[in-house]
């Protein structure tokens, strides 16, 4: 005898399962998620699986073309640069710098932004007004320009670049989280919880924060693409990663002198930057659509 089910199974799925159910049919977003998963794996294991030493110079293999050209070598699939270093190994290791460190910078900025955004969203009166006006002023400055100013103060270098990007992205998180909290405080269930005797801390911890994962996820994807572009731009300008660090932006800058002799040395790192940012934007757009469908269902 079959058991009686009062509810259909599809209406009892967890929010994450429903989100995944609406995300999977979006093929471009799913393809972007696969590419991002490969990049995350590459950023973790690239120092251990590189076919050659990314810093080893070979004077006998200067500007070796990729293996798909007639005079290329199979042992160097993407060729070499002007110092004879293996491009494939440097691009693989560059994922740890351009993509991996961007994730760490955005995570750090997101955590600090959650704390400051909660403070901005829960305050009222003059303090909230002053705080919001300062945030609006900071948001008028492009993140790259703000990062350049911070790096100019801290000095060039990869770690200073990470700190600069964290601080440059912080206003976006604080503003986004603060607005999301203020919207949550206007909901009926928050008002009912307050009438039940809950204080501001209980409302923030038990009701508001669990409902912030959707806007925070969207903010994270947008900030991640910005962070990757900023890291590459600072490396290209010579303010970020310094030679011989194989960061994608600095690799493009180092190869500009030989762009006519060896265009692959510029095209390959530039293509990786483009693919990474495009994948993040596809995933972010897919998440936005999936969240909208989940709320409507």
Domain membership of residue 2 (yes or no) is no
> Average per-residue pLDDT in the chain?
86
Can you point out the beta strands (E) in 85-192?
A: none
Tokens of 176: 């986004």
Rg (CA), the chain: 23
* pLDDT > 90 in the chain, percent: 41
Asked if residue 210 is part of any domain, the answer here is yes
Residue 272 lies in a domain: yes
Report d(CA 235, CA 75) in Å as an integer. 28
Lowest mean pLDDT among 173-177, 187-191, 263-267, 275-279: 187-191
**207: Cα within 13 Å, side-chain hemisphere:** 23
Q: pLDDT of 167-212, one tens digit each?
A: 899 888 988 888 888 888 888 888 888 887 777 778 888 888 888 8
- Overall average pLDDT of the 134-145 stretch: 79
Q: Which of 147, 207, 133, 208 minimizes the C-alpha distance to 177?
A: 208
Report DSSP letters for 175-237, one per residue.
HHHHHHHHHHHTSHHHHHHHHTT--HHHHIIIIIGGG-HHHHHHHHHHHHHHHHHHHHHHHHT
On the question of pLDDT at 5 being above 70, the answer is: no
Rounded CA-CA distance 22/26 in Å is 8
Range of the domain at 36: 17-50+65-296
> Does 231 reside within a domain?
yes
- φ/ψ of 74, rounded to 5, equals -65, -30
Q: ∠ at Cα 225 (145, 247), nearest 5°?
A: 80
State the total domains in the chain.
1
- Res 268: pLDDT: 94
**1 within some domain:** no
- Examine residue 191 and state whether it is found in any structural domain, yes or no: yes
DSSP state of 227: H
CB–CB of 207/184 below 8 Å? Answer: yes
| Residue 137 lies inside a defined structural domain of this protein | yes
- 56 in a structural domain: no
Bond before 244 cis per omega within 30 degrees: yes
* Residue 86 belongs to domain with CATH number: 1.10.3720.10
């Amino acid at each position: 005898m079959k058991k009686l089910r009062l509810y259909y199974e599809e209406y009892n799925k967890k929010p994450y399962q429903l989100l995944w159910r609406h995300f999977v049919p979006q093929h471009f977003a799913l393809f972007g998620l696969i590419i991002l998963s490969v990049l995350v794996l590459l950023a973790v294991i690239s120092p251990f699986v590189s076919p050659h030493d990314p810093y080893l110079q070979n004077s006998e293999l200067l500007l070796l073309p990729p293996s798909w050209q007639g005079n290329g070598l199979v042992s160097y699939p993407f060729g070499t640069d002007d110092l004879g270093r293996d491009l494939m190994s440097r691009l693989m290791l560059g994922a740890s710098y351009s993509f991996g460190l961007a994730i760490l910078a955005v995570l750090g900025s997101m955590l600090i932004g959650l704390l400051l955004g909660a403070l901005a969203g829960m305050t009222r009166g003059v303090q909230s007004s002053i705080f919001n006006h300062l945030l609006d002023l900071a948001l008028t400055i492009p993140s790259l320009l703000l990062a350049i100013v911070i790096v100019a103060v801290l000095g060039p270098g990869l770690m200073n670049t990470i700190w600069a990007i964290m601080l440059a992205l912080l206003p976006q998180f604080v503003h986004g989280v603060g607005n999301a909290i203020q919207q949550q405080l206007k909901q009926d269930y928050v008002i009912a919880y307050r009438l039940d005797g809950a204080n501001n801390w209980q409302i923030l911890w038990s009701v508001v924060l669990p409902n912030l994962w959707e806007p925070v996820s969207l903010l994270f994807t947008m900030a991640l693409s910005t962070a990757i572009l900023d890291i590459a731009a600072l490396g290209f300008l010579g303010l970020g990663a310094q030679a011989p660090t194989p960061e994608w932006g600095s690799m493009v800058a180092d190869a500009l002198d030989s762009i006519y002799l060896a265009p692959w040395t510029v095209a390959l790192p530039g293509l990786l930057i483009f693919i990474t940012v495009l994948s993040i934007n596809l995933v972010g757009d897919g998440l936005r659509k999936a969240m909208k469908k989940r709320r409507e269902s």
